[in-house]
Amino acid sequence: MQKRQLGNSALEVSALGLGCMGMSAVYGPAADKQAMIGLIHAAVDRGVTFFDTAEAYGPFINETLVGEALATFKGKVVVATKFGFEIDLETGKRGSGLNSRPEHIRAVADAALKRLRVEAIDLFYQHRVDPAVPIEDVAGAVKELIAQGTVRHVGVSEASAATVRRAHAVQRVTAVQSEYSLFYRGPELELLPTLEELGIGFVPFSPLVAGFLTGTMDMDTRFESSDFRSQVPRLAPEALKANMVLVDLLRAVAQRKGATPAQIALAWLLAQKPWVVPIPGTTKLHRLEENIGAAAVELTSEDLGHIHAVASQVTVQGARLPEAVLKMTGH
């Protein structure tokens, strides 16, 4: 697996990471723990060195899983986790919103260290921007943790370019994590140019749009009520039909390149900037291997031009997230 540097930082990771959220939460009941530990080990064996989790996934279950799975790989892998929600650190009971108060950040970090079984958190993201706490105070709190040696790098997730700039002025931001794919290109307008200017890495989540860009869904696809995708407007039946043109584009390019639609979607992201590191998630070994294979797919300037020309004519139907979640992201 090729390696990439997250911006101008010293943090080097595999060109593709592994998003671990879906192993424990969001897409229905948690997968079998031992099977997921085996999958994480398989990812390491295949060169993946970048793993993404968060206290909110479960809560706590996913961090515990990742910590157990990677306990024997200390110093060989990079683990990113997140803070920022109102979650009781004793019971795991969720509150009604966000919490990035400095004292809460410190408590979350202490708890995450234990669950991840590490001496320092490699990359600590603010999961969502908290409008009640100035971003300068948030960055300052993580800066103190870095000085103490319990955190190595700071990141922010779903933050505007202006917010990233303010945080970066207090403490160098190593990475920004936000949704980005051929399906949702919002970061291209302001965020990506800002990250390039400041030397910050970019970590796209949902690079395959919760499986849509793999080409495995059709107009008859339905999700269980426990699956987060059942609430996503852009994956509703009427939206799927309109949005399928993007999958058709990926299929056509994939056929020419001897690849799969998912691999083209990921290769397109990798081709945008050398400091972009997508983190597709999966619970299946064959999908893991398919995703990793995207790093070997080379898209020419002609390929990229064709993809851009066709995709720019598509008006994606449906919001990318439910309204309540969009309000929390500020996008």
Q: Are 259 and 212 in contact (CB under 8 A)?
A: no
159 to each of 88, 93, 127, 156, 302, how far by Cα in Å?
24, 25, 9, 6, 32
Cβ–Cβ < 8 Å for 181, 154: no
Residue 57 annotated in active site: yes
* Torsional sign, CA 33, 34, 40, 46: negative
Residue 263 · residue 292 · CB < 8 Å = no
Identify the sign of the CA torsion 117, 120, 122, 125: positive
CA–CA dist 207, 213 (Å, integer):
8
Phi and psi for 53 in degrees, rounded to 5? -145, -175
Of the residues 27, 57, 125, 184, only one is catalytic, namely 57
- Residues that are catalytic: 57
